[in-house]
Structure formats: structure tokens, C-alpha cells
Structure 1
Amino acid sequence: MTIAHRNLDHLPVLPGVYMLKDGDGEVLYIGKANALRARVRSYFRPDRAQSLRTRELARRSAAVETIVVGLGAEALILEANLIKEYRPRFNIQLRDDKSYPHIKVTVAEPFPRVFVTRRLRQDGSRYFGPYTSVGLMRQSLEVVKRLYTVRSCRYRLPKEAPARPCLDYHIGRCQAPCVGLQSRHAYREMIDEILRVLGGDTESVRTRVETRMQSAAEALDFEAAARHRNVLQGLDALSRHQRAYRLGGGDQDVIGLARDGELGTAVVLRIRGGILLGRETRRLSGLSDEDDGALLSAVASRFYLGSGREGQAELPREVLIPAEFEDRPLLEGILSRAAGRKVVFHRPQRGDKVRLIELASANARHTMEDRVTALEYAADRADEVLYDLQNRLGLKVVPRLMACFDVSHTQGTDVVASVVVFRNGEPRKAGYRRMRIRGGWGNDDYRSMGEAVSRYANRLVKEGAPVPDLVLVDGGRGQLSAARGALGSAGLRETAVASLAKREEEVFLPGRRRPVRMGRADRALHLLQRMRDEAHRFAVSYTLKLRR
């Protein structure tokens, strides 16, 4: 079922955001437009020049929802937020590469802490990184921990505090602000200095420390002078280490892109004070018919608008880009207001800045090549398990595409079902589905399972979509019989089906009196369990969402 053209005629001729949905209400695509009616209607005009992806989107779309906004900037922000919330399958997908650590400074706390983390939260903290060089990160953190008396405890000061100082105070690693031996003002001054050091500004810190050391020596406070001398030595060591990452220039972000068919990689190099302080990577998918301008628009908008107020406040004045994109002026305006200073996106034509773009793009290409190699390696390993599963269950084909169903309810109410899809032994979340059971079967799990499989199978037949090599259902013989009957009614009698019972982890197959039992360490069983558990998780999360 597609959207009737008469319904499109009633769309507003105003700027805003639109959401294309399928017959089950799932959001397929989110976009923005200066004139909503014209933009949405363009999807449904007969046009041979349209890509296969756009034609498939139009075929699946059954409804459209629009949100009118006043300005183009508001539409850009709203689009980024909605894409982040719904993750529509037809939008370009950006996924964080969370494999690299950051140094976190909890500046929102009265007495901030400094530590390493791999989880970024919008909690008012300052993050430095990600550090692709563990050596630079360790050197930076070592300087901070050795030269500054930052607290390591987790007390919520000043409301929550111990009765007496801990061991760190007695060995000189902390000045015990927890019991009032260091003022909040003095502690904050120290944190401000640490922030400059981590930001690459070691020279200004060095000047201040030299002044303090000289003043302490003149006052004959040789112990304080020695502490300041040690800080200077640590700063020199860190500065020498940073020279290996010095690229020249000032404060810049540099975006590089690489693509290979449907997949791609975006890299953002963070340069502060001419020093490469970190690199952020985003894995991309769904790039079949997007040009570089559209791809860069999606990456830049969602990367920077999704960084939160704290991240936007740390923006450099210049972001170097490899191509122009349509939303550049809008995005510059939004980010300039958020940062409190002018932020520009610049596409250099010559000189050192072009070489920085080439460096970022080379990073993206190498990351892309590593990703493709990893995917190929994972596919090779998955083949062994899939062949084993084929032999164990006596399947006619290797089960490269599998779907697993689960039913969840609360004492017969709020009955829902989920289906998760695995390809080559790995989940493919774009194929996940969940649905409310409409039959009013209550506690009858068999009929609920039959309805879920029936609706899913009929949809596959209607859309001409690939049929799974194996359908797995959570349960025993009753669920197996219901699923088999539903597949047969949809004309998919040849589709292999099995059920996995929780208690004994037995696999039931049609026409077999005895279940298939596998060893607890069997990798084929582990794959079936993983699918079953994922389907259960997905169904339960939907049940909880409906309760709220």
C-alpha cells in the first residue's frame, strides 16, 4: 500500500521535517524541506532516473507525517534529533566507533575528578580525545596525576565527605579538599590548569608555573619551588611527546571520508594548538545513491548537532571539509550561536590545509580497509558455524539468513511479538520487527506465535523480500506447529522451521519425534541461543515501552 496522491495534495507548503512510514507505522525515512508538499511528492512521481533505493522507499511508504517549523535551522536540528531517535532504515546510518578512550574531567562537580573513560555522556563534563595513541593518553594522564593533586575518591563533595583524609593525602597525592584542607577556589585553579595542559596549551601553563617557582624561591619556600620545578619537567616531557603529533596550524577539526559501495567511514581529526589530540570515527552504511555533498551534510550535521552543548562549546573556529554541502550556512549559524563565536566550514584549495584533508581521508581509507577485512574474517568464521548448524539440523541449504520469533505478554495482556534477523551469523537490525498481537489470544502463546509468523511471512511474500533459510521460534512443539502452519498458509511450505525450548535447550524439528540435543559448548547451539535471547530482549523492551 502506497500513499494516495490526493493525500499528498493536503501537505503544507512550508518548511519543516517529514517522516515516511510503512503500513505498520515504522519510520522508514526522515528528511527536511523548505516546501514539504513538493519535496514529499517528488518521491511518488514516475521517474526512471530515480535510484532503486528511492523507488523502494516510495513503494513501502504508506503514510507521511510532517512537522512544520519556522526556520531552516530549526528543521536541520529537528531532523538530526529525529534520525537519532528513530534510526530509519533508509537514512544514512552513522555509528560511533567507541573503541578509543577519552580523558574525562568532571567540571560540573564542585571538586572535579580526572580519569579515563570509554563512555561519553552529556553530563557537563569535558572530554579529551579519543586517543588513538595510548602512549600520548598515558603520558598526558601521568603528568596530570603526578604533578597535580587531583582527588581520586568518588565522594560527592562537599555534601558527602569522609571523617578524615585518606591515604592519598598522607603520601602527597591529594590536598584533602574533602575535609576542608584545600579551598574550592584553589582546587578550581588547579583544574583550570589541567584543562589547558590536556588541551595542548603547555606553553601558557609553563609561563605561569615559572612565575610561581621564582616567587617561591624569592620567599625562601624551597619546598614549593621544588614542586613547581617538577611540574615544569613534566610539562617538558609531555611537550616532547606531543611534538610527534604536531601538524601545524591552530585549532581545527578536519573531516575525511571514504566509501566502498553501501559502506563508508568518516574521520574527524581534532587539532588543537597545532597538535593532533584525537580522532573520532563514524561507521557509515546505506550510501548507495548519495553523492559526497549529501554524505558530508549528513555526517557534519549529525556529528556536531549530536555532540550536545558541552561538545559544541569546545568547537574550533574552523572545520576543514573535503567537499561543499547544501546545509553549510545553516549549520555554521547554529554552531556559531552554540559556541558563542564564529564557526566556519572551509574547503581549502591549496597549501597545508589541503594536506590535512588528505591526511584525514587517508585515515578514513585505512579504517575502511580494516573494517572490510574484519567483515570478511567474521564471515569466514561464521561459515564454519553455519555449516555445522546445517548438518546438525539436516537443512537443505546453509542458513545464511535466519529469523527468530518470540512472544511476550503480561498475564495475557499487552501481547507483543518480535522477530530478529541474522545474516551470516550476525544480527541485522534493519530487519528487526515487533508487533502487537491483534487476535486477542490472551495466554495462548501458540495462536499468538502463529499470528506473528503469519503476518511476517505474508509481508515477505507481498513485498517479494528474501525468505529466511531458517525460521526459529522460542518454545516447544506447540509453537513449532503454529509457526509451520503459518508459513504453509503464506505459501512458504519449503521454508525450514525449528523451535528452541528453554528448559533443556532442545531443538524441535517438524517430522522428528526426538528433539536434537547439542553439547553445551556447541557453537551451533550458541548461535541459536543468541538469536533466541535477542528476540526475547527485543520483545520485552517493546512490552515495557507499551506499559510506559
Structure 2
Amino acid sequence: MADPSTYRPAAGTIPTDPGVYKFRDQHRRVIYVGKAKNLRQRLTSYFADLAGLHPRTRQMVTTAASVEWTVVGTEVEALQLEYNWIKEFDPRFNVRYRDDKTYPMLAVTLNEEYPRVFVYRGPRKPGVRYFGPYSHAWAIRETVDLLTRVFGVRTCSKGVFRRSEQMGRPCLLGYIDKCSAPCVGRVSAAEHREIVEDFCDFLAGRTDGLIRKLEREMGSAAEELDFERAARLRDDVSALRRAMEKQAVVLGTGTDADIIAIVGDELESSVKMFHVRDGRVRGERGWVVEVQENATLGDQVGTFLLQFYGAESEMSSGIPREVLVPALPDNAPELETWLTEQRGSHVSLRVPRRGDKRTLMTTVERNATEAMARHKLQRAGDLTSRSAALTELQEALGLDDAPLRIECIDISHVQGTDVVASLVVFEDGVSRKSDYRHYSIKEAAGDGHSDDVASIAEVTRRRFERHRDGAVTPPPAESPSGETAADDETTSRKPKKFAYPPNLFVVDGGAPQAHAAASVLDDLGVTDVAVVGLAKRLEEVWIPGDDEPVILPRNSEALFLLQRVRDEAHRFAITFHRSKRSKRMTASALDGIAGLGAGRRTALVTHFGSVANLKRATVEEIAEVKGIGPATAQAVRDALDEDTPHDPHPSTDTKETVS
């Protein structure tokens, strides 16, 4: 591991101009490429105190052995040079946007005498017109199969074309009228090119005029009693309409845009892109990449645009007239200028705020979210990954054995009220929902850091006192979502001994929270349970008694497992907190009504489903509830009419905080 001070350049030697810089390792390999408006300001930030650097940046500067830079005239030149160097050197510490698969396109070889239509994968070539990319090759083939009965374009290879030309017989497609058979002279080269141009016009979205033309020809054929030709034209129109249905119209005709959504967390992001050409979604792409440094959403957008459109710039048709993004990067004007130069005509870079484009952006974001969920599920379900995560945790935390059972607690409240806690259990890297528990905090908790620490101490004590004393707990009650959870104070059902203690006890928080849990275990004499705290901001792992946190690699399976455990505890705590708060609000709305006890309150809420529905009910409807007479129904109606909810901050959503 290199010491950055050994290769740090003197501050006065670094220019203040815009430029691009490279970090190299001891073998002279480029490991990172970056750009800056002010080279001196940017490079100086890499040589700050190592403890204050982001873990990934710290790893990069300690791996590097030298740094060099190149001054350029403008930021647009810096963008271009940065892309060229990233493409040339493929630095290991740069975020890499690589397709999760190769996407097929529909290619039309306009540079040939008899243009050919075929499915294609690979780099774009001059003289070939491309449509797509599409998600699946079979979708392209289905569309082409429908359209060849109308347009009769050539789809055969050069070898088949030459063989048919020599034999004087068309291939099978020529015999079944799915090719105009230019190989045997049924149509001339000029006539075939006209057919191909109509085919391209249809795929480009100019469909209405062609369909109207065919319908007019169909009407004329019927008037001339040429019913066979009219029937064939009718089938052609039907085929065109089916082909159009395969490409949903989402925006106005002529809209040419790429829509990009980025969804993720501090470690990974899911990037989804929809290609819209002439108002239709022609295809989509997806990536899951590691997030670099504390990059903002705008930073991620800028990095993606540079890498993706730099590769697409080999053919200007790959860059659309409009690029819609979730957030603008700081250098948006320079990026827009660079994209315009790459395309050869103006490119608009903006965030959609309303209308159809905003609606489609929401769809792309939903797809990105689902892709991220699939990625995490696949990673969590992989046995090899789970085994690696447990082994990495054992080594990083200095445990005697792999933590086969991990428990995590989390605290949830709204400004210190309705304080609850959750406890989730993972065994062999998989959640064990039958052992989940939730707690209502007994001690008063206000709004503050110290109260969160006290709540964690209380929950830890209650959980391990039960284990120490060999107490029993009831079997978990089933929640509406199908998950199992039980409040530790419930006394119904047959008792069942609580599961064995964890190997690793995780608290959501930093050093104070971890120390509070460890102190409780010391007081109880529990010595065989390791305690750590997982801080949200930098995903640091705090071990009680250590001055510095353990920094797990951002792409490690161990950190991914700890995140899943923490996020599950967060979700479970929020769910219980909302349920408890809802019950309290329900009770307060019906409290104090004469003749309405706890049983009748429950009957009313059960009958109508919620207090909101009850407030909309008439006196007669309320009186229909078993046990509620006309007089009580009228009292309920009067009380609800007088009840006016008070919101001290009507324009601000209530925020649930989890510690």
C-alpha cells in the first residue's frame, strides 16, 4: 500500500486550468481517470487526510504510485479527452457502464444494390440504417415476419441471393410472396429500393399515410370486382396494424428521445434506459453499477452520459435529439454541447417535469427499481455469495467462527412519540421471519440522539434477559402481510422457547449505539455474542471499544449482507410503528363518547374498516353494527362531526425517523 505523500505533487506546480488527470499504480497501469474545471483544486482534495476520504477514494490513492495531468482549453475538450482515456485504459477505479447483455437491432443495408433486412448485434457500420435496440431478437423477427408479407424486402444472405440468382429460382420466401424476389428479376433494383424505403418509413413511424394508401387501393379493387386483390390488401392492412400494436405509441409522432432513470442506494445503482424513436419505445437497456464516492444523482447521470454516448457516437444516429434524465449534472451545459458535437445537430438535455414524458419517466424509474430488486434477490439467493459474506464477516470482525445467526435491532419513532423497536434474525445469510420480534419501548423517549441510545439499551436488555433467564415467549402472531412477528408482552397461545442467541448482534447506528448494546451484554454476563454498529452515512462498521471503524470494501458480500439485515430491520420497525400509531389515532378519535366502550369501538372499526370510512357513514349505517343502538349511533355521529383534525404543519409530510 503506497503512501500518497510520496508522490504528491507540489501544490504550486499544479495548474488551475481545466484538464484531465490520470492516477497510475506501481506498474504504470492507469487505475483512474478524472476531469476537473480546476486541476489544482481537484487534485489537492485527493491528498487530504486519509481518514476523511471516502473508502473507495482512499483505496485508489493508496494503490496509486503517481499522478499526471493534461491541460485543455475548455470543459467540453476535457469531457472528450476523459472519455477517450477511459475507453483506452479501462481504469479499474472508474465506474463502468456495461450492458448486462447484447441488445439486437434491425439492420437495413442501404449501401448494397439490393438492400437486405436482418437482425444484427454489434457496432454500427456506415451505410447501414439501424432500428432499435430491442429487448429480444424474437420480437424483431415477429415484426419482420408480419411486414414482409406487405413490403417483400429481401432478408436472405449474400450466399442464398447469389445461388437463387444463378439457378433462376427464388427461395421459399419468394414462392410464398414474402419476398419480391429481386434475385430472379421480379422487381428491378430501383423498385426493390423503393419497397425498402417504404419499409424503413413504416418502422420510423410514418405509418398513417401508407395505411390510408392501402385502404384506398382496397376500395378501388372492390369497386372493380377484383375481390382477390382486395382481400390481399385487407390482410396487408391487418398485418400492418398488428405490427403497429407491437410498438406502443407513448409520445407524439416525431419524438426522438432517450429516457434515463437511476435508482439505488449508497453502494449500487440500477440504470434503465428507454429508447423512443418517432414516438414509440423501440427498445431498452439496463445496468447495475457500483456508485462511486458519495456521488450525487447528477454526478451519476454525467458519468453515464459520457460513457454511453461516447460509445454511441461512432454513428451520429445513435444519439437522439433529446435526452431526458432524472437530474442534471453540474456540467450539464458542457455535456449538452458535447452531445451536440457528437450528433452533428442540436441535442437537448433536460429533466421532464410534467406531461407524457414525465409519465414515461415514471415507468422507466419503476423498471429500474424492479431491476435493482431482482439484482439484490439474485445476489441474496446465491449460496456461494452467502458463504463468502459470512466468511468475510468472520475475518473482518475477528470472530472465532462464522456468524451463522445474526440479529439486528432498529428503533422507529416520530419526533420521540410512539417509540418502537424491531428485531430481525438471519440464519446462514437468509431471513428467519418466524423469529422476528417487535417491542414497544417502555422508557420515555424524546427527540434526541441520547434517547435512541437508551432505547437500544432497553431492547438489548429485554432480549438477552429472556435468554439468560431461560424464559419463554409465545409463538409469533401472523401479521396481515403474512410475516410472523410477536410483541414480547403478548401472553396468548402456547408458549415456545425463544431461539438460541446470535453469533453477531447488529445495531443500526454508530459507536454510541454499539457501545450501549455492548454495555448491557457486559452487565448481563453475556460474553459469547459479538456486537457491532452499522452507521448509515458511510456504511462504517463500529466495534465497541475501537476508535476507528472497520471499512468493508464497497463491493464486498459482507457489507451487502449487513445492509440487507439493517434494511430488513428498518422495514420491520417502520411497519410496526405505523400499525401502532394508526391504532392510537383510531382510539383517540372514538375516546370519550358516552356509551361506547372498548368492545363497541373495535366493532365499529372492524365493520367499517377504518375511522375514515366510519366518518362517512350515516346514523342509520352506524346503527346497523351489532351492539350499537340508535342513540349511541347518533352520539358517535355527533362526536365525529365535531372532531376536526389539527395539523400544526399542514404543508409538511410527517417523517418517520429510524435510528
TM-score range, shorter chain: 0.5 to 0.7
Q: Secondary structure at the match of 2:98?
A: strand
Match of 2:86 in 1: 83
CA distance in structure 1 between the partners assigned to 2:9 and 2:263 by the alignment: 42
CA distance in structure 1 between the partners assigned to 2:107 and 2:8 by the alignment: 53
- Give the 5 Å matches for 1:377-388: 377-380=381-384, 383=387
Task: Give the C-alpha shift of residue 320 in structure 1.
Answer: 1.7
CA distance in structure 2 between the partners assigned to 1:225 and 1:186 by the alignment: 22
CA distance in structure 1 between the partners assigned to 2:357 and 2:55 by the alignment: 37
**Given the superposition, is the C-alpha separation of residues 221 and 52 from structure 1 closer, same or farther in structure 2, using an over 3 Å criterion?**
same
Task: Give the C-alpha shift of residue 194 in structure 1.
Answer: 1.9
Match of 1:66 in 2: 69
2:204 equivalent to 1:202: no
CA distance in structure 1 between the partners assigned to 2:219 and 2:382 by the alignment: 60
Provide, for residues 212-244 of structure 1, a one-character-per-residue CA deviation record: whole Å limited to 9, x for no partner.
6678889999877665444322112223444xx
- Give the 5 Å matches for 1:26-425: 26-46=29-49, 49-98=52-101, 100-117=103-120, 119-124=121-126, 125-132=128-135, 137-155=140-158, 162-164=165-167, 165-167=169-171, 168-178=173-183, 180-210=185-215, 228-242=233-247, 245-249=248-252, 250-310=255-315, 312-380=316-384, 383=387
Match of 2:611 in 1: none
Residue type at the aligned position of 2:82: E
CA distance in structure 2 between the partners assigned to 1:63 and 1:69 by the alignment: 20
**Given the superposition, is the C-alpha separation of residues 248 and 330 from structure 1 closer, same or farther in structure 2, using an over 3 Å criterion?**
same
Provide, for residues 99-141 of structure 1, a one-character-per-residue CA deviation record: whole Å limited to 9, x for no partner.
6543333344443322334x23222334433434778545422
Which structure is larger by alpha-carbon Rg, 1 or 2?
A: 2
**Given the superposition, is the C-alpha separation of residues 115 and 20 from structure 1 closer, same or farther in structure 2, using an over 3 Å criterion?**
same
CA distance in structure 2 between the partners assigned to 1:240 and 1:49 by the alignment: 55
Match of 1:506 in 2: none
Decide whether the 8 Å contact of 2:257 with 2:320 is kept in 1: yes
Decide whether the 8 Å contact of 1:122 with 1:308 is kept in 2: no
Where in structure 2 are there 5+ consecutive unaligned residues?
392-399, 403-550, 554-659
Q: Secondary structure at the match of 1:84?
A: helix
CA distance in structure 2 between the partners assigned to 1:108 and 1:225 by the alignment: 35
Task: Give the C-alpha shift of residue 267 in structure 1.
Answer: 0.7
Q: Secondary structure at the match of 1:94?
A: coil
Q: What is the percentage of aligned positions where both structures have the same residue?
A: 33
Task: Give the C-alpha shift of residue 298 in structure 1.
Answer: 0.8
Task: Give the C-alpha shift of residue 303 in structure 1.
Answer: 1.6
Provide, for residues 53-97 of structure 1, a one-character-per-residue CA deviation record: whole Å limited to 9, x for no partner.
223222222122333433322221221232233222221121202
Task: Give the C-alpha shift of residue 367 in structure 1.
Answer: 0.6
**Given the superposition, is the C-alpha separation of residues 355 and 170 from structure 1 closer, same or farther in structure 2, using an over 3 Å criterion?**
closer
Q: Secondary structure at the match of 1:19?
A: strand
Provide, for residues 484-509 of structure 1, a one-character-per-residue CA deviation record: whole Å limited to 9, x for no partner.
xxxxxxxxxxxxxxxxxxxxxxxxxx
**Given the superposition, is the C-alpha separation of residues 6 and 260 from structure 1 closer, same or farther in structure 2, using an over 3 Å criterion?**
closer
Q: Secondary structure at the match of 2:382?
A: helix
Task: Give the C-alpha shift of residue 256 in structure 1.
Answer: 0.7
CA distance in structure 2 between the partners assigned to 1:397 and 1:129 by the alignment: 52
CA distance in structure 2 between the partners assigned to 1:45 and 1:331 by the alignment: 29
Decide whether the 8 Å contact of 1:264 with 1:287 is kept in 2: no
Residue type at the aligned position of 2:31: L
Q: Secondary structure at the match of 1:306?
A: helix
Task: Give the C-alpha shift of residue 257 in structure 1.
Answer: 0.7
Task: Give the C-alpha shift of residue 98 in structure 1.
Answer: 1.5
Task: Give the C-alpha shift of residue 380 in structure 1.
Answer: 4.5
Q: Secondary structure at the match of 2:118?
A: strand
Where in structure 1 are there 5+ consecutive unaligned residues?
388-395, 399-463, 467-548
Residue type at the aligned position of 1:348: P
**Given the superposition, is the C-alpha separation of residues 171 and 135 from structure 1 closer, same or farther in structure 2, using an over 3 Å criterion?**
closer
Aligned length, in residue pairs? 389
CA distance in structure 1 between the partners assigned to 2:113 and 2:160 by the alignment: 7
Task: Give the C-alpha shift of residue 160 in structure 1.
Answer: 9.7
Residue type at the aligned position of 2:73: G
CA distance in structure 2 between the partners assigned to 1:154 and 1:94 by the alignment: 34
Task: Give the C-alpha shift of residue 335 in structure 1.
Answer: 2.5
CA distance in structure 2 between the partners assigned to 1:160 and 1:81 by the alignment: 45
CA distance in structure 2 between the partners assigned to 1:351 and 1:59 by the alignment: 49
Q: TM-score, normalised by structure 1?
A: 0.61
Note the aligned Cα RMSD (angstroms): 3.8
Task: Give the C-alpha shift of residue 319 in structure 1.
Answer: 1.9
Q: TM-score, normalised by structure 2?
A: 0.52
Task: Give the C-alpha shift of residue 179 in structure 1.
Answer: 5.2
Moved more, 28-37 or 296-305: 28-37
**Given the superposition, is the C-alpha separation of residues 170 and 350 from structure 1 closer, same or farther in structure 2, using an over 3 Å criterion?**
closer
Q: Secondary structure at the match of 1:93?
A: coil
